[in-house]
Structure 1
């Protein structure tokens, strides 16, 4: 007897799940219906800042698979259709056609929730003015580009200095805008420890960006025709022809909350290792709408990254299709850049370690991406956290120029393997002067961390 799978959300997690389920089960065995409220499917949201900034030429380059390609694989994909109600007891969803306004119920045997995340949009006067943009979907990116093409001025304000904020600051700089970054914290990149975030802030100022820290936006000022003209804080006004909100994202779980599904501390859906929603054997969830286990701290976290979403989708699709897979958790690895500055982190920050009840030591080193005498050697700073007494690696942060960011992958593997900093120093990494000093910067930081652990007893 045929079953029906309903998928809510047709981007990374949702369509990876649908595609994997289709590989395992034929259309005669499993009918797949997917709902997507936007205009696009299976695209790289992480690539949007680089499309806006001109590094990527066209929108289509960010699309991995079109609706037509999904439909050719016997997936009933319904675009511009938003699920507005979830009836878990009745095993059905109510969806609205956004073009006609018509609504209808669709029954399911199995359900995948992949509703993603939404940009934080504070309730401020003027927040909905023309020229104010969040950037989370391809539709958002297109709307921002349309604004940039029809804006006469060259002043941009980015609100927020996390990953989205610094990436959009670079994109707007590449477009020729004079950029001011307004940040509520004392320094950019709160995902780093304060000392490492300060390095990012200094570098951004050196690039010609105006950094305004410790500033809370109070309202968006508009001109007579409703278009943005400035961003106001308690202390000052910053002229703006365009405003980009880079404050971060939250799990888009309103449907799940209304349906009584379990949510975590950060508002994301809670699942088991097989990505089933806890307490519901026929409901799976993945992507930016879920919380995941942090393998270092043992706590649940919300991390919105396409890498995780695609893995979730593969695991969910395997479960729906009768196979098996699990998602064990993450160590919190992320990389970014602003102009030529590379930023990376994995594992715990100092405040994360304290919150988890861990005692730790730190070690920070200055190094270069290549042998110091080799042309093109670029500086980098590496900070490492290790558990006191045991020496277990807890986290690594890297700020530097070319060749810095991807070195964090060494630490990500070490964290996953629960290695100590002493064991890390013995790793047999590749060496040649064009690629690394004799002691790779990560290994050099590990050596210093070993000394700190021994001194701490």
Structure 2
């Protein structure tokens, strides 16, 4: 008698889990039913800003595997179908057709919750007016592009200055819009320390983006036609033909919470290392709806990234399929760009280290992406945190031009390995003048951190 795997969510985690489980178990052993309320599956939400900006084609270009391809591989994928209830005691889910409203129950032996995240949409007057857009799904991307085509003016306001906000600011600049970014924090990119965030803000201002920091939106004003026309803060109004919300996302766990499943401080599902929901051996969860272990601080964090989501899916599918796999946690690595500015970070910020009770030293250096004499060498700033006395690397942030962003991967590996900054200085990194100075910028920062740790001892 075969078992049944039910998957809620047809994007990275859900379909990776379903595909991996299908590779390990045949249809006679495992029936797989997947529910997706939209019409797209297995797509790159991270690519939406670049589709909007015209760098890549979409939506088809952002789809890794279509519903038809999944079905050919023996997965009963039901698009346009939303799961409205999880009955953990009865081991079943209630599904509803988006078009017809028809509802029915489906039982499961194994359940995967991969409901993703939802854009933060504050309850403000005018927030639901035409011309105000969140960007989370391919459908959102289609709607935004249609709105841009139908808009006569070229004034855009981006609310929020995190990863989504800065990427959408770039996309709109590329489409010829005058962009104003309204940010309630003192500088963009709150995932960086304030001094590094200021570097990003200064660079964005130099690109022609109007930066409005320390400003909370109080209302979105509309015209006689009901469409958004301006964004209001306590101090001013900013004209807008289109508004993009880049405030961030929250785990979409309303379904899981209603079923009584355990949620963490950020509202994400809590799982064990095998990605099983705590206290429920038959239920797995992964992707943007979960909280994951931060290896550096020892606490759980919500980090919405496709890299983690796909890994979670592989791990879940392996475990459902009879194998064994675990997800050890993250160090918090992320990269982004706005025009030609690259931004990378990994590990702890200063306030993260303080919250974890760690004592630290910090250093900041400026270097170049290539040998100084080689054409195209661009400057970058590297900030590094190291633990007092031990010299253990705690975090690294990089802001610069070409070649800056992906250098953070060196620090991510060092963090995962628990390396000290002194040990980092001996790393055998690749060198040639077109790619790096003799001392790579990350190693220059490590050398300075070694001296700071030594000076702290005296």
For residues 392-403 of structure 1, the aligned pairs below 5 Å read 392-403=392-403
Aligned to 1:342: 342
Aligned to 1:440: 440
Q: Secondary structure at the match of 2:229?
A: strand
Alpha-carbon distance in 2 for matches of 1:28, 1:52: 43
How far apart are 1:147 and its partner, in Å?
A: 0.3
Alpha-carbon distance in 1 for matches of 2:277, 2:260: 11
Offset from partner CA, 1:23-46 (integer Å, 9 cap, x none): 011111111000001110000000
For residues 187-336 of structure 1, the aligned pairs below 5 Å read 187-336=187-336
Aligned to 1:430: 430
Alpha-carbon distance in 1 for matches of 2:109, 2:428: 50
Alpha-carbon distance in 1 for matches of 2:100, 2:173: 40
Alpha-carbon distance in 1 for matches of 2:39, 2:208: 36
Give TM-score scaled by structure 2 length. 0.99
Alpha-carbon distance in 2 for matches of 1:241, 1:95: 38
How far apart are 1:341 and its partner, in Å?
A: 0.2
Q: Secondary structure at the match of 1:56?
A: coil
How far apart are 1:59 and its partner, in Å?
A: 1.4
Offset from partner CA, 1:220-240 (integer Å, 9 cap, x none): 000111100000000000000
Q: Secondary structure at the match of 1:454?
A: helix
Alpha-carbon distance in 2 for matches of 1:343, 1:258: 38
Offset from partner CA, 1:266-307 (integer Å, 9 cap, x none): 100000000000000000000000000011111100000000
Alpha-carbon distance in 2 for matches of 1:343, 1:120: 23
Stretch deviating more after TM superposition (52-61 or 248-257) = 52-61
For residues 38-437 of structure 1, the aligned pairs below 5 Å read 38-437=38-437
Offset from partner CA, 1:362-389 (integer Å, 9 cap, x none): 0100000001111000000000000000
Q: Secondary structure at the match of 2:180?
A: strand
Q: Secondary structure at the match of 1:423?
A: helix
Alpha-carbon distance in 2 for matches of 1:432, 1:311: 33
Aligned to 2:18: 18
List 4+ stretches of structure 1 deviating above 4 A.
none
Alpha-carbon distance in 1 for matches of 2:220, 2:96: 32
Unaligned runs of 5+ residues in structure 1 are none
Q: Secondary structure at the match of 2:219?
A: strand
Q: Secondary structure at the match of 1:78?
A: strand
Alpha-carbon distance in 1 for matches of 2:180, 2:22: 47
Offset from partner CA, 1:52-91 (integer Å, 9 cap, x none): 0000023111000000000001100000111011100110
Alpha-carbon distance in 2 for matches of 1:102, 1:157: 40
Q: Secondary structure at the match of 2:346?
A: strand
Alpha-carbon distance in 2 for matches of 1:64, 1:376: 35
How far apart are 1:443 and its partner, in Å?
A: 0.1
Aligned to 2:8: 8
Alpha-carbon distance in 2 for matches of 1:57, 1:152: 23
Alpha-carbon distance in 1 for matches of 2:267, 2:198: 30
Alpha-carbon distance in 2 for matches of 1:452, 1:16: 45
Q: Secondary structure at the match of 1:428?
A: coil
Q: Secondary structure at the match of 1:256?
A: helix
The root-mean-square deviation of aligned C-alpha atoms, in Å, is 0.5
Q: Secondary structure at the match of 1:214?
A: coil
Alpha-carbon distance in 2 for matches of 1:117, 1:328: 22
Q: Secondary structure at the match of 2:452?
A: helix
Alpha-carbon distance in 2 for matches of 1:93, 1:232: 43
Q: Secondary structure at the match of 1:112?
A: strand
Alpha-carbon distance in 2 for matches of 1:323, 1:282: 15
Offset from partner CA, 1:232-266 (integer Å, 9 cap, x none): 00000000000000000000000110000000011
Offset from partner CA, 1:318-358 (integer Å, 9 cap, x none): 01111010000000000000000000000000000000000
Q: Secondary structure at the match of 2:23?
A: helix
Give TM-score scaled by structure 1 length. 1.00
Q: Secondary structure at the match of 2:232?
A: strand
Alpha-carbon distance in 2 for matches of 1:99, 1:59: 22
Alpha-carbon distance in 1 for matches of 2:147, 2:34: 31
Q: Secondary structure at the match of 1:438?
A: coil
How many equivalent residue pairs? 457
Unaligned runs of 5+ residues in structure 2 are none
Q: Secondary structure at the match of 2:312?
A: helix
Offset from partner CA, 1:396-439 (integer Å, 9 cap, x none): 00000000000000000000000000000000101111111110
Alpha-carbon distance in 1 for matches of 2:7, 2:120: 25
